[in-house]
């Protein structure tokens, strides 16, 4: 049995929304690495987590998206460890009954160009995953990936902790906006992540809520893993506020196979509240 199913017995779980914009709203200056705030302004990071829990998130992430040795080059190992551990601790303090899935983002460097090699990437992800697991995360979420090879290295490192691992990609490229920046299709991603031993696969960032429905369906058709879906907020429409429009896709995404549903860039606690309302109304 898939290890995530124990949490999915009552159906789809609502996750959280964007963190960057919420931190900016609390004073994070542009150009500052948000992850460093886990140590500098822990109360403001915790406030973001709390805002999502209060809005109805049943799973919250951690402010650790960039806290790997490559993305935060120049940051000493002990500091990275502290940033990752604090990220989990802050989300945990706010979580209450909610689960804490710790965020692992891309390195920002390209394997394909030789800018960085597999050993460096694997070592950076392994160190981060170890810190996140030691701090008590419930699962690890490898997110906003575009390179299958980089994601494979991250999933490998994350799996060594023994925690369930989710692998989520940003589909935003190609003429139909259904490929990652590196050209991977939902089918290729699903197949590679099943093979890598991920416990769930998904799509985050990239396209908005309307376009993610077909990506979700394609992931569903390509594998049996639970699906993790966190589209970007998209633009305001004639049909109402962005949050209402976003949440109006709840049933379509549930029916397309989403097991975890939240928002990425541009989404706020208001979006999560609207999604949680849509879930209540649908049950």
Distance CA 137, CA 267 (A): 23
User: Shortest gap between Cβ of 82 and Zn ion (angstroms)?
Assistant: 25
Please give the structure tokens belonging to residue 65: 């998206």
Q: Which is nearer to Zn ion, 12 or 233 (CB)?
A: 233
| CA gap 283, 280 in Å, rounded | 5
Question: Does residue 151 bind Zn ion (CB under 5 A)?
Answer: no
Instruction: Output the smallest distance, CB 230 to Zn ion, in A.
Output: 8
Q: Please state, in angstroms and rounded to a whole number, the distance separating the CA atoms of residues 104 and 129.
A: 8
Q: Which stretch binds Zn ion (CB under 5 A): 25-33, 57-65, 200-208, 247-255?
A: 200-208
Q: Does the protein bind Zn ion through residue 233 (CB under 5 A)?
A: no
- In sequence order, the 6+-apart residues with CB closer than 8 A to the CB of 199 are 2, 3, 4, 139, 164, 165, 166, 225, 226
Min. distance of Cβ 232 from Zn ion in angstroms? 6
Give the count of residues interacting with Zn ion (CB under 5 A): 3
What b/e string do you get for 207-227 counting C-beta neighbours within 10 Å, with b at 16 or more?
Answer: bbbebbbbbbbbbbebbebbb
CB of 24 to Zn ion, least distance (A): 14
- Other CB atoms within 10 A of residue 167 CB: 30
Told to check if 212 binds Zn ion by CB under 5 A, we report no
Residue 264 contacts Zn ion per CB under 5 A: yes
Q: Which is nearer to Zn ion, 253 or 265 (CB)?
A: 265
Cα(14)–Cα(170) distance, integer angstroms: 19
**Is residue 189 a contact partner of residue 219, using CB atoms and an 8 Å limit?**
yes
Residue 155 phi/psi, 5-degree rounding, is -65, -45
Which part of the chain contacts Zn ion (CB under 5 A), choosing from 24-32, 40-48, 198-206, 209-217? 198-206
Q: Does 53 bind Zn ion (CB under 5 A)?
A: no
Work out whether 132 is an interface residue with Zn ion (CB under 5 A). no
Closer of 135 and 202 to Zn ion (Cβ): 202
Stretch that binds Zn ion, among 19-27, 155-163, 261-269, 271-279 (CB under 5 A): 261-269
Q: Give the nearer residue to Zn ion in terms of CB position, either 17 or 164.
A: 17
* 35 secondary structure, DSSP code: G
Cα gap 149→67, rounded to integer Å: 19
The C-alpha atoms of residue 20 and residue 17 are separated, in whole angstroms, by: 10
In angstroms, give the least distance from the CB of 267 to Zn ion: 9
Which span (2-10, 123-131, 190-198, 264-272) binds Zn ion, by CB under 5 A?
Answer: 264-272
Please select the residue that binds Zn ion; options are 129, 166, 265, 275, rule is CB under 5 A: 265
Does position 205 interact with Zn ion (CB under 5 A)? The reply is yes
237 Rama sector, left if φ>0, alpha if ψ -120 to 50, beta otherwise: beta
Which segment (36-44, 92-100, 193-201, 204-212) binds Zn ion by CB under 5 A? 204-212
- Residues 201, 194 contacting (CB under 8 angstroms): yes
- Residue ranges in contact with Zn ion by CB under 5 A: 205, 264-265
């Amino acid at each position: 049995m898939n290890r995530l199913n124990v949490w999915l017995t009552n159906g789809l779980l609502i996750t959280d929304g964007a963190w960057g914009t919420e931190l900016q709203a609390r004073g994070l200056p542009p150009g500052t690495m948000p992850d460093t705030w886990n140590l500098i302004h822990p109360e403001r990071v915790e406030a973001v987590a709390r805002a999502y829990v209060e809005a109805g998130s049943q799973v919250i992430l951690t402010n650790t998206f960039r806290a790997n040795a490559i993305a935060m080059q120049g940051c000493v190992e002990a500091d990275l460890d502290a940033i990752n551990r604090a990220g989990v601790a802050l989300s945990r303090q706010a979580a209450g009954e909610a689960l804490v899935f710790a965020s692992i983002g891309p390195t920002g460097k390209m394997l394909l160009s030789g800018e960085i090699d597999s050993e460096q990437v694997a070592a950076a992800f392994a160190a981060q995953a170890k810190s996140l697991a030691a701090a008590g995360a419930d699962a690890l979420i490898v997110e906003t990936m575009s390179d299958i090879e980089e994601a494979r290295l991250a999933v490998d490192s994350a799996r060594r902790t023994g925690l369930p691992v989710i692998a989520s990609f940003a589909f935003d490229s190609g003429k139909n906006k259904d490929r990652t920046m590196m050209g991977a299709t939902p089918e290729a991603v699903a197949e590679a992540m099943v093979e890598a031993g991920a416990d769930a696969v998904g799509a985050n960032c990239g396209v908005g809520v309307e376009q993610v429905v077909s990506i979700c369906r394609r992931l569903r058709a390509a594998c049996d893993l639970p699906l993790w879906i966190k589209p970007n907020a998209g633009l305001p429409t004639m049909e109402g506020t962005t949050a209402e429009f976003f949440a109006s896709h709840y049933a379509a995404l549930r029916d397309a196979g989403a097991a975890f549903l939240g928002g990425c860039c541009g989404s706020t606690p208001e979006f999560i509240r609207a999604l949680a309302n849509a879930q209540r109304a649908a049950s």
